[in-house]
Amino acid sequence: MHADWQAVINDFKAVVPDVDFWSLRLVSEETETLCVRDAVVQPPSLVHDRGVHLTFVDRGGCAYAATSALTREGLRTACEQALRWLEPSRRQALVEARQLPWPQHSGSYTTPVAVPWDEWSLAEKVELLQDINRTLLAGDCIVDRQAFLGHRQSEVMLLGSNGATIEQTFHYVIPGYVAVANRGSQTQVRSGGGWRSARQGGLEQLADFGFPDSARQVAEEAIALVEAPECPVTRADLLLMPSQMMLQIHESIGHPLELDRILGDERNYAGTSFVTPDMFGSYRYGSRLLNVTFDPGVMQEMASYAFDDEGTPADRSHLIREGILLRPLGGATSQARAGMAGVANARASNWNRPAIDRMANLNLEPGNSSFDELVSGIEYGVLMDANRSWSIDDSRNKFQFGCELGRLIVDGELRGLVRNPNYRGISATFWRNLAAVGDARSLEIWGTPNCGKGEPNQMIHVGHASPACVFRDVEIFGGD
Amino acid sequence: MEAYFRELSDTLCADLAPGEVLLLNYRGEASDFVRLNHNRIRQAGHVHQQALDLDLVRDGRESGASMPLCGALDTDLAQARRLLERLRAQLPLLPEDPHLNYAMEVHDSIHHGEDRLPEPGAALETLLEAARGLDLVGIWAGGEQSRGFANSLGQFNWHSTHSFNLDWSIYRAGDKAVKQNYAGFTWDDDYLAHKIASDRETLDLLGQKTRTLEPGRYRVFLSPGALYELMEMVSWGGFGLKSHRSAQTPLLGMVRDGFTLHEDMTITENHAAGLAPRFTRAGFIKPDRVVLIEAGSYRNCLANRRSAREYGAVVNCADEQPESLEIAGGRLHQDEVLSSLGTGLYISNLWYCNFSDRNHCRITGMTRFACLWVEQGRPVAPVNVMRFDESIYHILGDCLEGLTREHEHILDAGSYEWRSAVSARLPGALVNDFTLTL
């Protein structure tokens, strides 16, 4: 796919009214997905999407319109719709139009791809998914199994009436598989191969997710979990693997640091934040081992890019250094509203939604402990792997998370599996109990394509890289 | 757009080769979205989107594609034909699909909802004026939504509605707020003013000294909105035939271990009362009602087209997740809620629910917005947010004391990619020994 935008741009320029400033964001996407469930090939899906989002700033007002009608008439109608909302915006605007950023730079970005999606034929991909299905059937108590492989290519162009032009092309690979085991009324699910995550890049990224080699282990662990004892009810050390650290970072660091939440925009839906503007620069968010970066430059991570959707160039920044909170996740508009520095994270989920503050790549930087040292430093605790349940209050403070797999740790050694592992805590104190951070060898790149937020709602992909980490004195429990 | 979709589908179906079957689905939306914060406009705009889904079937195989519609017939037809060529090339590479299922009988239907929406700018002015001096945050979403289905067997279905969904909260201080929603098809300035006036009264209560509850078991009243949050979780695999047959339903205890809910619990997927189209994406027509749980016992599952073929059932839904859930009302009159609660927690809203033990349908989540401590039938103080962790078998089973006679018609305010057509009719629930944990 290559988006030929010139005709659309010409038509838009022919109908755009005389306003102080306009921007035009053009998005074209193609998504292909394959799934084999219980050895049955599901109907493949191919989704094309294409539309534009235009924003007008004029005489103190700001309004947008988005349309898939990419004809001159369709674009003219979209312009009229945006003009219709300019007047109410002028009278009732929350944000002064002069505070709104105009893209000042031009540039481009393309995801590096070593093995393109089309390099493997449809038959090869289907056969691979069938192989995984066969492997996942590791016992008679496997009652459901799925293997999934998807690809998305997204081309985004941002034009400003001041001449700024930004072109970015992204390639994502979306793999994974899951095995479900059951005996009686006990069902356990284990996933692997990147399930519920994704990466930028081509098919070469699959190996880093263990795809397809971990399929046997996934099925065997699902079966073992059915017979495993419940996770104990205890207050103990907690060793979180990167696949769960991803969620812990996402919910209890990422969301509370979003500047639009702090400014109150999300209070009716996604919520507010226990973080207030006066905390930046001095608040101890976590122990000295906690270092968190906004890093749009990790190529394989889902939200790598050169510019955000407001046209701000994206650079790596520390949000938390040695436990001290430094900087929020706020794009240029939020920065202007709050009067504080942020990062380039104003992003829209698609052409049909406006940009708001999102997480992008939010990473916990590695420490100095090997994985063996993390385990040996625990007298009694539980290792938890792979998120399966997430819940946190609207201020992003009181959380409770559950994982697919738990494993006891006694006297510095890994012991048997425990099922239904859960833990709960409070963000404001949990991170201060961060006792050990794994080194670069235990760092894994994860993320989620399903971060929800915003009104109207927007689902977007974010990246999280983290090593395994140890937390002290955590409330841990299992199922009934 | 009905005529446009009809022309597209007629033309594309006429192109088919012998032995091919084509299923076409149209999605359209023209919506205004105005986001509000601090009783001012944060973002205002309009979204016009149209898409066509094509599913090509031949020799027991199926492959699907989706494309945006630009509204120029030649351009859209050319794009659709290109996609169909790709699907044609793909089908022989696929094995036969044993679960392939689409409607073979032709059932046409046309539903055009009347456009009685207000001019959105004027409605917003009314809202902002009514809430003058208040810290209001929320969203106006309104406009036309359309769905269409056509197939090469000659079936044609159309469903369009014009609706609005105004969803807002008004904050007193910190996280203390009252949450409201006004959604429907016709607008009434007076009704909105009544809602805002009611909000002002609740805000006075939120100004009382806040209480922090200790973890423990409490007598609570769950408003219909709070119950909706719980039912969204139960609906996540709870009623689907596939999730039942693969032992993943959170109601596994009901079908494997004989667990029951309270005898007053009757849960129905009431398609006839819903906002979603009555036709599915494969052309099946949904029945008026599917009784899911009756007098506390599990009855029927929701079966989509693939599950129906796999397990020999009848298609009775589009997706195996309720779109128009209804819980039968009980004997508790709305006016008696607080006196029946006596001393306990009035839970107006729950938030961010998830399973803590899916096998036992145990759900955790948070209280949110105007949850109030009630003493001797009188609300006395707002309560700081608390985490709960409790099984549905207790909440709607042995700990359920009563359901309200009245229902609230909840229109989902969700708008991920497209505005939601999900709705529910739910009573409130009086519950004993509801566990708060943090």
Distance between B158 CA and the closest CA of chain A, angstroms: 21
Quick one: pLDDT at residue A428?
A: 85
Sort out which chain A residues have CB atoms less than 8 A from B416's CB and list them. 452, 457-459
Cα torsion at A149, A25, B47, A332 (round to 10°)? 100
Mean pLDDT of B234-242: 98
Mean pLDDT of B144-165: 98
Suggest the residue from B21, B41, B298 to mutate for an interface test with chain A (most A CBs closer than 10 A). B41
pLDDT tens profile A5-40: 999 999 999 999 999 999 999 999 999 999 999 999
CB-nearest partner of B416 from A78, A268, A457 = A457
Residues B137, A50: C-beta atoms closer than 8 Å? no
Quick one: pLDDT at residue B301?
A: 98
pLDDT tens profile A40-90: 999 999 999 999 999 999 999 999 999 999 999 999 999 999 999 999 999
Centre a 10 Å sphere on the Cβ of residue A229 and count the other Cβ atoms it contains: 13
Mean pLDDT of B1-5: 96
Residues A74, B70: C-beta atoms closer than 8 Å? yes
Mean pLDDT of A468-477: 98
Strand A234-240 relative to strand A380-392, pairing: parallel
Residues B49, A394: C-beta atoms closer than 8 Å? no
Residues A66, B46: C-beta atoms closer than 8 Å? yes
Residues A480, B47: C-beta atoms closer than 8 Å? no
| Averaged pLDDT score across all residues of chain A | 97
Quick one: pLDDT at residue A394?
A: 95
Suggest the residue from A12, A68, A155 to mutate for an interface test with chain B (most B CBs closer than 10 A). A68
- CA distance linking residue B29 with residue B7, whole number of Å: 19
Residues A63, B438: C-beta atoms closer than 8 Å? no
Quick one: pLDDT at residue A3?
A: 61
Residues 59-88 of A with CB under 8 A from B: 62-71, 73-74, 77-78, 81-82, 84-85, 87-88
Residues A455, B167: C-beta atoms closer than 8 Å? yes
CA-based nearest residue to A161, from A311, A304, A347:
A311
Distance between A323 CA and the closest CA of chain B, angstroms: 25
Centre a 10 Å sphere on the Cβ of residue A96 and count the other Cβ atoms it contains: 11
Helices A215-227, A122-136: crossing angle, 10 deg rounding: 30
> How much is the ipTM here?
0.96
Residues A456, B46: C-beta atoms closer than 8 Å? no
Mean pLDDT of B371-384: 97
Mean pLDDT of A179-189: 97
Q: Does the structure show a pLDDT above 60 at A250?
A: yes
Suggest the residue from A36, A67, A267 to mutate for an interface test with chain B (most B CBs closer than 10 A). A267
Report yes or no: B250 and B261 within 8 Å, Cβ to Cβ.
Answer: no
Centre a 10 Å sphere on the Cβ of residue A30 and count the other Cβ atoms it contains: 18
Quick one: pLDDT at residue B435?
A: 98
CB-nearest partner of B438 from A66, A264, A424 = A424
Sort out which chain B residues have CB atoms less than 8 A from A46's CB and list them. 63-66, 83, 86-87
pLDDT tens profile A131-169: 999 999 999 999 999 999 999 999 999 999 999 999 999
Task: Pull the structure tokens for residue B401.
Answer: 């004391």
Mean pLDDT of B76-80: 98
Report yes or no: A19 and A89 within 8 Å, Cβ to Cβ.
Answer: no
Is A450 part of the contact surface with chain B (CB cutoff 8 Å)? no
- Residue linked to tokens 């190529």: A299
Distance between B332 CA and the closest CA of chain A, angstroms: 30
Identify the closest residue of chain A to B390 by CA–CA distance. Answer: A480
Confidence of residue A1 (pLDDT cuts 50, 70, 90): very low
Q: Does the structure show a pLDDT above 70 at A417?
A: yes
pLDDT over 70 percentage in chain A: 99
Centre a 10 Å sphere on the Cβ of residue A235 and count the other Cβ atoms it contains: 13
Asked whether the whole model's pTM tops 0.90, one would answer: yes
Identify the closest residue of chain B to A273 by CA–CA distance. Answer: B175
CA-based nearest residue to A27, from A252, A292, A347:
A347
Distance between B85 CA and the closest CA of chain A, angstroms: 12
Sort out which chain B residues have CB atoms less than 8 A from A67's CB and list them. 47-49
Planar angle of CA B216, B219, B222, nearest 5 degrees: 115
Instruction: Return the HEC string of chain A.
Output: CCCCCHHHHHHHHHHCCCCCEEEEEEEEEEEEEEEEECCEECCCEEEEEEEEEEEEEECCEEEEEEECCCCHHHHHHHHHHHHHHHHHHHHHECCCHHHCCCCCCCEEEECCCCCCHHHCCHHHHHHHHHHHHHHHCCCCCEEEEEEEEEEEEEEEEEEECCCCEEEEEEEEEEEEEEEEEEECCEEEEEEECCCCCCEECCHHHHHHHCCCCCHHHHHHHHHHHHHCCECCCEEEEEEECHHHHHHHHHHHHHHHHEHHHHCCCCCCCCCCCCCCHHHCCCCECCCCCCCEEECCCCCCCCCCCCECCCCCECCCEEEEECCEECCCECCHHHHHHHCCCCCCCEECCCCCCCCEECCCEEEECCCCECHHHHHHCCCEEEEEEEEEEEEECCCCCEEEEEEEEEEEEECCEEEEEEECCEEEEEHHHHHHHEEEEECHHHCEEEEEEEEEECCCCEEEEEEEEECCEEEEEEEEECCC
Report yes or no: A55 and A35 within 8 Å, Cβ to Cβ.
Answer: no
- CA distance linking residue A6 with residue B164, whole number of Å: 36
CA-based nearest residue to B358, from B222, B219, B246, B437:
B246
Is A93 part of the contact surface with chain B (CB cutoff 8 Å)? yes
Q: What is the H or E stretch that residue B50 is in?
A: strand B40-58
CA-based nearest residue to B101, from B304, B240, B322:
B304
CB-nearest partner of A268 from B48, B168, B362 = B168
Residues A49, B391: C-beta atoms closer than 8 Å? no
Report yes or no: A358 and A345 within 8 Å, Cβ to Cβ.
Answer: yes
Report yes or no: A46 and A32 within 8 Å, Cβ to Cβ.
Answer: yes
